[in-house]
Structure 1
Amino acid sequence: MKGSKEFINNSTALKDISGLSEEYCHEIFENSGIPMMVLEDSVVSWGNKEFQKLTGYSNTELKGKNWNDLVFNENISIIMDLSIKNTPKISNKSNFSSKHKFNHLMNESTGKSLIFISHLPGKSGRIASIVSITDHDEVEKQLKFQANILENIQESVVVTGSHGMIKYWNEAATSIFGYSRDEVMGKSMAMICRENDEGKFLVTLKGISDGEKCAGEHECRRKDGSIIWMDVRTTEMFDEEGNQTGFLNVSKDITERKKVQNDMETALKEKEMLLDEIHGRVKNYIQMVLNFLEIQSKYLVDREDFGTIKDSKNRVNVMFFVHDCLFTTEDFATVEFSEYIQMITQNIVNSYTVTGGITFDVTVDNVLLDIETAVPCGLIVNELFTNSIKHAFPNGRKGHVVLNFSKDNHGICVLRVEDNGVGFQNVKVDKIGLNIVNSMVEALNGEINVSNHNGTSWVIKFRGSEY
């Protein structure tokens, strides 16, 4: 403080300013919070503590330094221009970049400032006040950068006040909706909603203010009246104190995507209708075959022939049931196998009028099989399950039949049909049925194992399709 007072005392420009005391002048200059210096003929005679901080020089170093030494070469002309203007009571200001003492080592010290030079009445000296605007410029650059982003993104960005009046409208919004910025500023954003219902629009804004989310696909109206689809996201905007200032609406034109989506949905419905028609016709044809077999059975006399017709009907039913199961799935391509097997086994039990002497244990994993796998597997189950019922328990013998189907984590399907009857080697073999089993196992690229220990056990393994 002693040093600054000394410079004030030695500065002819600061002596006797409007009769103020030296102490009072000192307090004003040192505590102004603004870099200030005194110039006498473009030579610095004193600088306050803020000026010393700005330049990096002490007062001892500043005294006698030419003003030009504190600015970059490109700014010297500005300083010279200000220096020669010696008109009293006139303040001049200009932007310039100030030079720091250690600028050659620390480029980040370079700053941009606004300088005010005031001429003292009746004095040769001048007071220079310097306000740094480096931070202001950075903020301005950042704002311009952000504004450039908003103006160049493809999404529509619209800012409204709390009552839905448009305050900002970017170029993408103009491109999408057809309105220029001048045509929409200060008007309700309801004008681009399909219904153009301001009351309904305000209700929506009220819901957002109450915490409801506004995100989804909406129909909007362009200036020419055409309807477009927009993916809309609307959120609240707040000031630094947490008060709501309006709403930010960001939306993307998805009209083309929506058109493709609608076309795909239409094509899918048409495909489903076609598949429905095909399956319906196939079921009708199968039902006709079953009816023919039923009619033929009425004219049969030989009991063995009657049994052959019954077996044939059950085989046809295997294919009939698979079309019933297809309608319980969403893709018309897979069959819920547990439901399918239950239908097959129940039909066999009913067709052969099984009494209480034979019990059943049917366990099937809840898996999906495609129709190319389900039908061969269903025919195998039909033949083996039928064989156990017809031949394993002759003369009213009691027994138990087990059917199990599972699929492991590696996609291997295991079908097991076994009974505790008289054994495979002790009964009459249905050669047609065995040929069907072998053919279907081959179609599945599977393997078959037969055991005759305490009855008959069939184990078939194959790789199932992945769903």
Structure 2
Amino acid sequence: MMKDTFKAQEEMNNVILDSIGEAVIIIEPGGRIIRNCNAVTEDLFGYKKSELIGRETSILHVSREHYRQFGKESEAVLNRGEVYKGEFQMKRRDGGIIDTYHTISSLHRELGWEEGVVSVIRDISEQKKTERQLQSNLKERSILLGEMHHRVKNNLAIIAGLLYMQIEASVDEKVVESLKTSYCRLQSIAQVHEQLYKKAEMDANISLDSYLNQMAESVDEVIILPDKNITIDIDCGSITIPLLQAVPLGLLLSELLVNAYKHAFEGKEEGHIQIKAGSNQDQLLIEISDDGIGLPKDFSIDSSSIGMGIVQTLAKQLDADFSYSSIPGEGTTFLVSFTLND
């Protein structure tokens, strides 16, 4: 009678195990011996149930080293009375390697895991395959983007070099000034691609602080004013800006910076320019100010000058609010505010 009851209980346990949609293995921890398993385990690993029961679980591991490592990791968690969860590669009967996710817990919580554990194993091979493919695609994309930024940077450097040669060869001051302004515009674009090329990750966002410091150095090197000492302070914190907005913003600020260098400090031996940026959620506010002589009385932002026309066009491209204020003898401040793209 007792034998029949035991057999009936065993059959019921097997029915319950086989109804579970994941591979389930009951393990005797002492020698990590398989006590029981379900039909999904047979399908997953390619062994018959009779071939697994009584065998060491190492039969399902890629190597003895993997087997030892798995035991070390899982036992450390089980010793704390917790459920072990983790990913591991396992081996099928035919030698094929599969990616699996394990959930291991004690059979008898009150007695501890030494009395037996149950391991639920899910096949995640397709998921991991997809992840590896995505990683491979991302790596390829990063390489291609890096190559693209490198080529653009080099091409712009060639054009900038030609412009600079023309600057050096020109004797007409008006031509030289125009070429210098064009050179600064070109550099503001080149510096975006240089930053992106140097980045380890290709997320198409650049550091605003680093970008503006590079731009300021370029302007200071090109717009040489031997009789003036002009200093620039830049405070942008850790703000990053997307590529599609960095180029028009850089051109706009370059235009304002060059304009300040050329006109803000006429009749003065020293001058100071400050660029500050702050963000509130997704809104970016940039202020560029100087302590120069102020704007002319007849200045109009809608003037026909090429510089202001470019500034207006770039502000529209950024969908930015653009404004300014000026006090004669004390200086000028320009404000640019727009929403950062995701």
TM over 0.5: yes
SS in 2 for 1:228: strand
Q: Which residue of 2 aligns with 1:330?
A: 201
SS in 2 for 1:452: strand
The answer to whether the aligner puts 1:233 opposite 2:95 as a matched pair is: no
CA contact (8 A) 2:14 2:38 kept: no
SS in 1 for 2:296: helix
Aligned match of 2:272 in 389, 400, 407? 400
| Residues 445 and 200 of structure 1: CA distance in aligned 2, closer, same or farther (over 3 Å) | closer
| Residues 171 and 280 of structure 1: CA distance in aligned 2, closer, same or farther (over 3 Å) | same
| Residues 363 and 186 of structure 1: CA distance in aligned 2, closer, same or farther (over 3 Å) | same
**Within 2, Cα distance between the matches of 1:153 and 1:364?**
57
**Deviations 1:303-360, CA, capped at 9 Å, x for gaps:** 2222222211111000100012224362342222121111111221232346773333
**Within 2, Cα distance between the matches of 1:255 and 1:459?**
54
| 1:398 counterpart letter in structure 2 | E
Aligned match of 1:448 in 322, 327, 336? 322
**Within 1, Cα distance between the matches of 2:73 and 2:275?**
59
Aligned match of 2:287 in 416, 420, 435? 416
| 2:238 counterpart letter in structure 1 | N
Q: Which residue of 2 aligns with 1:362?
A: 234
The answer to whether the aligner puts 1:382 opposite 2:254 as a matched pair is: yes
Q: Which residue of 2 aligns with 1:371?
A: 243
The answer to whether the aligner puts 1:172 opposite 2:43 as a matched pair is: no
Gaps of 5+ in 2: none
| 2:57 counterpart letter in structure 1 | M
**Within 2, Cα distance between the matches of 1:452 and 1:363?**
21
Q: Give RMSD over aligned pairs.
A: 3.0
Q: Percent identity?
A: 25
**Deviations 1:195-219, CA, capped at 9 Å, x for gaps:** 2x3x763564356445578542222
Give the CA deviation at 1:431: 2.2
Q: Which residue of 1 aligns with 2:59?
A: 191
The answer to whether the aligner puts 1:201 opposite 2:67 as a matched pair is: yes
Q: Which residue of 2 aligns with 1:267?
A: 137
**Within 2, Cα distance between the matches of 1:324 and 1:243?**
57
Give the CA deviation at 1:283: 0.8
Taking structure 1 as the reference length, what is the TM-score of the superposition? Answer: 0.63
CA contact (8 A) 2:106 2:113 kept: no
| 2:115 counterpart letter in structure 1 | T
| 2:293 counterpart letter in structure 1 | V
**Deviations 1:427-465, CA, capped at 9 Å, x for gaps:** 999922212111101111223222221322212222222
| Residues 189 and 242 of structure 1: CA distance in aligned 2, closer, same or farther (over 3 Å) | closer
Larger mean CA deviation between 323-332 and 442-451 belongs to 323-332
Matches within 5 A, 1:194-343: 194-195=62-63, 197=64, 201=67, 204-205=70-71, 208-211=74-77, 215-238=85-108, 241-242=111-112, 244-326=114-196, 327-328=198-199, 330-343=201-214
Aligned match of 1:438 in 304, 312, 321? 312
SS in 1 for 2:267: helix
Q: Which residue of 2 aligns with 1:18?
A: none
**Deviations 1:151-172, CA, capped at 9 Å, x for gaps:** 2222111122210111111111
| Residues 384 and 146 of structure 1: CA distance in aligned 2, closer, same or farther (over 3 Å) | farther
**Within 2, Cα distance between the matches of 1:156 and 1:341?**
58
Greater Rg by CA: 1
Q: Which residue of 1 aligns with 2:49?
A: 181
**Within 2, Cα distance between the matches of 1:243 and 1:250?**
15
| Residues 154 and 234 of structure 1: CA distance in aligned 2, closer, same or farther (over 3 Å) | same
**Deviations 1:400-428, CA, capped at 9 Å, x for gaps:** 2222222223x332222222212211799
CA contact (8 A) 2:86 2:102 kept: yes
SS in 2 for 1:448: strand
Q: Which residue of 1 aligns with 2:25?
A: 158
Larger mean CA deviation between 255-264 and 421-430 belongs to 421-430
**Within 2, Cα distance between the matches of 1:183 and 1:191?**
10
**Within 2, Cα distance between the matches of 1:240 and 1:363?**
61
| Residues 179 and 358 of structure 1: CA distance in aligned 2, closer, same or farther (over 3 Å) | same
| 2:255 counterpart letter in structure 1 | E
**Within 2, Cα distance between the matches of 1:435 and 1:204?**
67
CA contact (8 A) 1:392 1:423 kept: yes
Greater RCO (CA < 8 Å, at least 6 residues apart)? 2
Q: Which residue of 2 aligns with 1:425?
A: 296
CA contact (8 A) 2:216 2:232 kept: no
**Within 1, Cα distance between the matches of 2:68 and 2:155?**
61
**Within 1, Cα distance between the matches of 2:171 and 2:237?**
42
| Residues 239 and 330 of structure 1: CA distance in aligned 2, closer, same or farther (over 3 Å) | closer
**Deviations 1:358-387, CA, capped at 9 Å, x for gaps:** 333322242222112111111111111111
